[in-house]
Amino acid sequence: MSPFRRLKENWLQPFFFFGNNPVTLIGSGLTTASAITLLLYWGMEIIGHGFANPYLGIIFFLLLPALFILGLVLVPVGMALRRNRLRRAGQLPTTYPEIHLGDPVFRHGVLIVLTATVVNVIIVGSASYQGVTYMDSAHFCGTSCHVMAPQWTAYQASPHSHVECVECHVGSGMKSYVQAKVNGTRQLVEVAFGTYPRPITAPLNALRPARQTCEECHSPTHFTGEKLLVKTTFGDDEKNSVTRTVLVLHLGGVDSLSHRTGIHGHHLNNFEYVSTDPDAQHIIAVTATNPDGTTTQYVDSSWTGPIRGYTRTMDCMDCHNQATHVFQTAEDAIDEAMTDGTPSASLPFVHKEGLALIQASYASQAEAGQKIVSGLDDFYRAQYPQVWFTQRPLVDAAANRLVAIYDRNVFPDMKVTWGTYPNNIGHMAFPGCFRCHDGNHVSKGGKTLSNDCALCHNLLAVDETNPQVLNDLSLQNELHLQ
């Protein structure tokens, strides 16, 4: 007997004989269908029509392969069941039917597998296509799991609320593509088992470089010149006294003569820095490239250890780490809201009381919602019954706004509270620019990264009640001075 004949009689014929049962046929349909779907998607990835969303990994790495394997398992299970059934009934044949298309039993089996495959391709394919398109949206990233609530809330209130999450979070190229899919799958598993970190952190190094994100829309060399900033703050006194700070930021850029000036211009030189923490809040050394190609390294003079840690080339995100996920400080949030008119500065002590209420600790946003409202109500009823009696709508509006401020910034279940995410622009609430420009980073040649106030801005007025400069600029009315 030739080897081929032996194979056919001892293996293929029994295989098709026992395989001719519903369980096996459906199993092989499942396997072929998920294989075809997988191949189609991989084909799309290869010709560049892929999907960027990291969580799609769960479909391509888990669900479809699981169906594929389930199908493979069903095939022998169905065959074993049929064999047992026939043996118990004493109907096991001694020779197995020939396999050729002329045999109606064989033909029907093939037909069933083909039909099951087509039906399964339609079901598996369209189900996963719908899953894919849904998961590829910012809406999915932001809302499908509560874990992302803080970033989603901050994102919606940002100038980038129309930029898809994946534009900034998933790199291009095969390596970062696979990395993102593996990460996304791991994160979904973490969510399923509740083992994700609280709060969630994203070390800057895990993000796409600014060249592939920010610079797709913003030109880094754009010359901005000077930028006027007016900050309004309210006091903790009964009258919530208003003061203003006015400064001109030397934003600069690259001007028409190719001079690099100001804040933007000076950091475009591929500065490399070393920090001791992944969030780069403690920078121990930064190396600047000079116009002549030489380099100058500035080292934190209070640092005695080796210059080792997280290394990164400075780009937009080192200053604009909150370009999208803008978390406010409690002070900024309430000052901004009061500048906007609610809480009304006519309510005595509303700044002080409001700040205390949003900064108190609560178990959940729901609890905060109740306690902030009742807290403010109690305060005016007890301390200013006259106000409480005559200005209830103002008090209620103030309370509701305070709750909105809280819900926008604090997420107790994710352990996100005031100050959890540092903002690197400026230097008041967080180290920011002073991570390097603290007057303490010195080069071997004795050059210091200056913290001279005039290096970055001209301070035209600091916490003044009625800055003359705003009168000179005729801005008093524009700024709704009460």
Taking alpha carbons only, the member of 273, 295, 304 closest to residue 444 is 295
According to DSSP, residue 9 is labeled I
Question: At closest approach, how far in Å is the CB of 402 from ligand HEC?
Answer: 21
Nearest to 148 by CA among 208, 200, 193: 200
Please identify which residue in 456, 460, 461, 470 interacts with ligand HEC, judged by CB under 6 A: 456
Residues shown for the chain:
482
Neighbours of 366 (CB within 10 A): 11
Q: What gap in Å lies between CA 182 and CA 166, rounded to an integer?
A: 15
- Residues 6+ positions from 285 with CB-CB distance below 8 Å: 273, 274, 297, 298, 299, 300, 303, 307, 441
Nearer to ligand HEC, 35 or 416 (CB): 416
The smaller minimum CB distance to ligand HEC, of residues 15 and 434, is found at 434
Whole-number Å distance between alpha carbons of 476 and 466: 9
Do residues 260 and 285 make contact, with C-beta atoms less than 8 angstroms apart?
no
Any bridge partners for residue 288, and if so which? 296
Indicate the residue among 157 and 481 with the shorter CB distance to ligand HEC. 157
Dihedral angle over CA of 200, 201, 206, 210, nearest 10? 110
Footprint (CB under 6 A) of ligand HEC, residues 202-241: 202, 204, 207, 210, 213-218, 220, 224, 227, 229, 231
CB 183 within 8 A of CB 59: no
The nearer residue to ligand HEC, 82 or 250, going by C-beta atoms, is 250
Query: Of these, 45, 451, 475, 476, which contacts ligand HEC (CB under 6 A)?
Result: 451
- Residue 344 Cβ vs ligand HEC, minimum distance, rounded to whole Å: 22
- Binding residue for ligand HEC, selected from 142, 209, 235, 412, defined by CB under 6 A: 142
Q: Segment near ligand HEC (CB under 6 A), from 7-15, 109-117, 165-173, 398-406?
A: 165-173
Q: How many residues interact with ligand HEC (rule CB under 6 A)?
A: 78
Q: Given the complex with ligand HEC, which of 111 and 229 has the nearer CB atom?
A: 229
Site for ligand HEC in 377-436 (CB under 6 A): 421, 425-428, 432-433, 435-436
Closer residue to ligand HEC in complex, CB, 121/148: 148
Window 168-207: residues binding ligand HEC (CB under 6 A): 168-169, 200-202, 204, 207
Q: Which residues pair with 64 in a beta bridge?
A: none
Which pair of structure tokens corresponds to residue 72? 């493979």
Binding mask 289-328 for ligand HEC (x = CB under 6 A): -------x-x---------------xxxxxxxx-xxx---
- Minimum distance from residue 87 beta carbon to ligand HEC (Å): 58
Closer of 50 and 432 to ligand HEC (Cβ): 432
| Distance in angstroms (rounded) separating the CA atoms of residues 156 and 137 | 14
Closest CA relative to residue 165, chosen from 189, 137, 188, 187: 137
Question: How open is the CA angle 454-456-462, to the nearest 5 degrees?
Answer: 65
Query: Which CB sits closer to ligand HEC, 101 or 454?
Result: 454
Q: Does 244 bind ligand HEC (CB under 6 A)?
A: no
Residue 424 CB, nearest approach to ligand HEC (Å): 6
Quote the tokens at residue 442.
């010195």
Q: Which tokens sit at 256?
A: 């028409």
Tell me: does residue 278 bind ligand HEC (CB under 6 A): no
Site for ligand HEC (CB under 6 A): which residue of 8, 83, 266, 408?
A: 266
